[in-house]
Amino acid sequence: MTPETMLFVDDEKQILRSVERLFIGSNHRVLTTDDAEKALALVDDESIAVVFSDQCMPKMKGVELLAQVKKTSPDTVKILMTGYADLSTAVEAINTGEVFRFITKPWDDAVLMDTAEEALGRFTLRRSLAHADEATLLALAETIELKDPLTQGHCKRVARYSVGLAESLGIEGHIKRRIRCGAWLHDCGKIGVPEAVLNYPGSLGPLEVQTIKKHPEWGAEVVRLANMAPEIVNIVLCHHEKYDGSGYPHQLKAEAIPLEARIVSIADMFDAMTSDRPYKKKIDQAAALCELQRMRGKEIDPLLADRFIELIRGNVEFEQ
C-alpha cells in the first residue's frame, strides 16, 4: 500500500503521544494536533487520507470537525474516537454518513491499527477508482475478495451471470459495460467491514449485522466520489434491496429498485447459494434454481427470475 498521511486530533496530549508511539515503524506518515482549527488547516493544506478525531474537545465536537472535513476533503476517511457515554452519537454519525467508523476509548491497540489499515484501504480504493480502466476495476474487486478467501472468483461470476441476463433482455453497449463493472464492484463497500466479521462462521450479533448492512452505502459513497456512472452507483447501493421491500439499505420495492441492481441481485444470490461461505455450505445448481423460483415476487423480480432460470438451464457456459 502506498504510504499515506493520517491525522489524529485530541485535546489530550498524552493520547497523541500514545498514538505516535503506536505507529512508530509504520510506513505511513502520522500527524497529531490538539486543536480542531489547526486540524482543519492541515486538511485544507495537504492530502490527508484518514482523520481520527476525539468527540469531546473544548472548541469543537469531533462530529462537527469531521463534518467540516467532509466538505473540505470528501475523499478523506473519517473515524470518531469516543467514550462509552457517547456511543449513541457515534452510531448516529455513522448512520448519517458523517463518519466511517468509531473507536471507543480507551481503545485496544490492535483494533486501532486494524481500523487504520481498513480506512487507508478505503481511501486508496476511492483514489484508484477515479482513474481506473476495466482491467484495473476487476483487479481492485479481486483484491477486495482477499478479505474473504471463500469469495474468490465471486465478482467475476456475478458479472458473467449479470451480463448474460442483461444480454437476454436486449441490453447492450455502454449500459451492459456498466452492469459488468457494477457487478465486479458490487461488494466494494466490504473493504470497510472487519475480516473477523466477514469470516465469522456462526450467527452475528446485532452490532456486527449492522456493520455488514452498511457496506452498500459505504461502497456507493466510494464509487460516487470517484464519479462513476449512475448505473454502477445504483448496483453497489441497491444490490441487497428486495422486490417486496424487505431488503436494505432503503427498503425499496419492485420497480423502485433500479433495473441494473435487480439484475445483479439475482446473479449475486445465485452465486452465493452455489458457493461455500463461512456460515453455510453451498447447494447444487438445481437446488439454487428451485430456491430462486420460490423467491420470485418476494426477494427478486419475478420476470427477471424466470428469465435467469431459463438462461442458466439452457446455457452450458454457466455450468460450474
Q: Which residues are catalytic?
A: 190
In the beta sheet, which residues pair with residue 7? 31, 51
CA torsion 151-114-221-78 (nearest 10°) is 180
Query: Which class for 8: exposed (0-12), middle (13-18), buried (19 or more C-beta within 10 A)?
Result: buried
Distances (CA, A) of 162 to 135, 236, 292, 304: 18, 13, 15, 11
C-alpha–C-alpha distance, residues 79 and 53, integer Å: 6
Exposure b/e, 266-297, CB count within 10 A at least 16 = b: bbbbbbebbbebeeeebeebeebbeebeebbe
Residue 195, C-alpha cell as written in the block = 475480516
Distances (CA, A) of 268 to 263, 272, 308: 9, 6, 12
**Number of neighbours of residue 213 by Cβ within 10 angstroms:** 14
Contact 69, 49 (CB under 8 A): no
Residue 309, C-alpha cell as written in the block = 432460470
Going by their DSSP bridges, the two strands 29-33 and 101-104 should be labelled as unpaired
